[in-house]
Amino acid sequence: MDRANHSLPPGSTVDRCYGKFRVLVADDQQGIVDLVELTVERMLGARVVSYPDGDRVLAALEQEAFDVFVTDMIMPGTQGFELLRHVRERAPEMDIIVMTGYPDSFPYVEVIQAGADDFIVKPFPTSALAAKLIRLFKERELRHRQRVAETKYKSLFELAVDGMLCLAKSEYLITDANRAFHEITGFAVDRLRGRAVMDLVEASERERFRQWLAFCDTTGRGMIADVTLVGANGKPIAADISATVTDAGDARIIFVAIKDVTEKRERDRLLAQAAERDELTGLGNRRAFNIRMGSAIAKAREQGSPVALMLIDLDNFKRVNDTLGHPAGDAVLHVAGDTIRGSVRTSMGDEGFRFGGDEFAVLLPGADRARCARVAERLRTEFGSRERHGTSMSIGVAEYVAPESVEELTGRADQALYKAKTAGKDNIALA
């Protein structure tokens, strides 16, 4: 058939938006080839290459790539189902349309099972073939866009600085993890897939984390701070975590971003500790004393438990500074701090403080006045055995009496300290 004798059907339009697609045609009837080329080139604007036999088709596939293969089933050389099999092996991503004038010999179901994507019976109108090609072109474009999107997602996922997880909605199982998550936790990615994310959360925080994930599933996104994860080596990891929920077909996926803030939390802790520590003695400062006292008294009021306080003053300290100099005075203060730390039981919540100058305090939660007096005596005796340049300790002891305030308890301990000093120094007085 002469291609020049073909014209577009009445009312048809030329659609040139498919120019990037390449179509391979195989048929030994020139009239059919002309009809297909007319459809592909003039109606759709795509490019076409045609061959009259299957062997040349297979050779072409070794050299070039095509988007769609339109083929007859009977022709010279390799043909029929054997041709479909070889084409599928060489070009698994290429779409195939089978055209035949013998539908009884090549049934539709068998042709599709052999690897074809569509089927058309000769003779056919150009519009029918054009419709099938347009469908395949659009599906290829959609698949291309999906691959591009998946590639971009995978790149962003893998190259993200923060750890990333993909969770399946059901049981919050991990479906994927990126390199950064491996670096943060030490877990190999292939050993994480299929594992419940709850397994990576410190046991005491799992319920809070589960409730947060349920909240994110309802709202679509969320953030949570100070979650403790457990790394592959069992080491705790402080993390700030955000989540975004998206629908992927019938599935619901949760993307989780994990920022490792372990070092930041430790720096914050050390800064907070430094803000509450006396640099010379290592004891808590006045700010820390006020915080701990307030907490201890609040607990005593709520639970009815005892709290005892001792205030300490170093006798003759000014004389050390005046006669031996400030370095000697600092040495005495250091000894006092060391003595206090060694005489209290931190496991029971006891804590020592330096108010400034030569004034100290010791807070003993859960201790009554009698125990506080024993600790004070041990402290005074220990200090007396150290190099202290003629200084000694005067100590005032008071036990909390409800409902007095921090100031009132501190005031009574201060009065007891005054009594100890006026009694000749190096003494202990009880309020």
Catalytic residues: 358
Distance CA 264, CA 261 (A): 5
Distance CA 266, CA 237 (A): 11
Q: What is the DSSP letter of 302?
A: H
Q: Work out whether the CA dihedral 381, 384, 385, 386 comes out positive or negative.
A: positive
CB-count burial class (<10 Å; 0-12, 13-18, 19+) for 258: buried
The residues near 190 (Cβ < 8 Å, ≥ 6 apart) are none
CB-count burial class (<10 Å; 0-12, 13-18, 19+) for 246: exposed
Tell me the pairing of strands 359-365 and 221-230: unpaired
Distance CA 16, CA 36 (A): 16
DSSP3 helix / strand / coil % (the chain, rounded to 5)? 50, 25, 25
**Which of 260, 254, 257 lies closest to 226, judged by CA?**
260
Contact predicate 269/275, CB 8 Å: no
The angle subtended at Cα 279 by Cα 277 and Cα 281, nearest 5°, is: 90
Tell me the pairing of strands 307-315 and 163-168: unpaired
Structure tokens at 400: 């909390």
Q: Collapsing DSSP states into helix, strand and coil, what is residue 132?
A: helix
What separation in angstroms does the CA of 382 have from each of 336, 375, 417? 10, 11, 19
DSSP calls for 45-75:
--EEEEESSHHHHHHHHHH---SEEEEESS-
Q: Which residue has the tokens 């802790």?
A: 269
